[in-house]
Structure formats: structure tokens, C-alpha cells
Amino acid sequence: MVNDQKTCESAAEKEQLSRIYQLTAQIADEMERSRIADYTQLLHKPMRMIWLNLLSGTARGVGIAIGFTFFAATIIYVLQVLGALNLPIIGDYIADIVRIVQRQMELKTY
């Protein structure tokens, strides 16, 4: 009976150790996927971190400028089309906006 109890405890301990090993391996995989090592390397190299942030900020700024340009051009085009339809009240208002924008584009600011 004592021998059976030890065998059960030993099997339970082996199962528990196996489960702990699986959880540890899973945590190690998650940490590898989260790229903590790359982040800690960046913390030890502040100039690289500054360079990467400068580069990503520049790319973000250029992307925003290009996106806003396309958006504004689309809005102006839609306003021109609506102005050409000669809608009673809205048409005059839109035509004024389009004329103002076109004048601003023709002015030389330098």
C-alpha cells in the first residue's frame, strides 16, 4: 500500500513537472514572439533608438501629407462637380469656395 502511494505521488509529481515544463516553454515562446530581446538592445543603444524614431516620424509625416493632399484634392473635385450642377442655394456657396481655393493656388507666396 505504501509502495502504491509512492507510485501515485511520483506519477503526480512527474505530471506536474511536465505541465510546468510545458508552461515554461510556452512562456519562452511568447517572450520570443514579443521580441523583448530586440527592445532591450534598443535600450542599450540610444542613438539607434533615436535614429529609428526619427525615421519613423519622418515616414509618418510624409504619409500624412500625401494622404491629406489626396483627400483635399478629392474634396475640391467634388465641390467643383457640385458647383457645375448649379444647385439653387448650395451651388453659389460651393462656387465661391472653389473660386477662393483657385485664387489661393494661383498666388505666388515667394
pLDDT in tens, 4-62: 556 666 778 888 889 999 999 998 888 877 777 778 888 888 898 899 999 999 999 99
pLDDT score for 4: 54
Rounded mean pLDDT, 58-80? 92
Residue by residue, DSSP assigns 37-64 as HHHHHHHH-HHHHHHHHHHHHHHHHHHH
pLDDT range class, residue 1, cuts 50, 70, 90: low
Q: Is the pTM of this model over 0.95?
A: no
CA 110 from centre of chain: 37
Q: Which CA distances in Å does 71 have to 21, 56, 68, 77? A: 54, 22, 5, 10
Asked if 75 and 98 count as a contact pair (C-beta separation under 8 A), the reply is no
Q: pLDDT per residue over 82-93, tens digit each?
A: 777 776 777 777
- The string of pLDDT tens digits covering residues 46-62 is 898 899 999 999 999 99
At 89 the three-state DSSP class reads coil
Rounded to 5 degrees, φ, ψ at 108 are -95, 125
Residue 101 pLDDT exceeds 90: no
**Contact between 81 and 96 (Cβ < 8 Å):** no
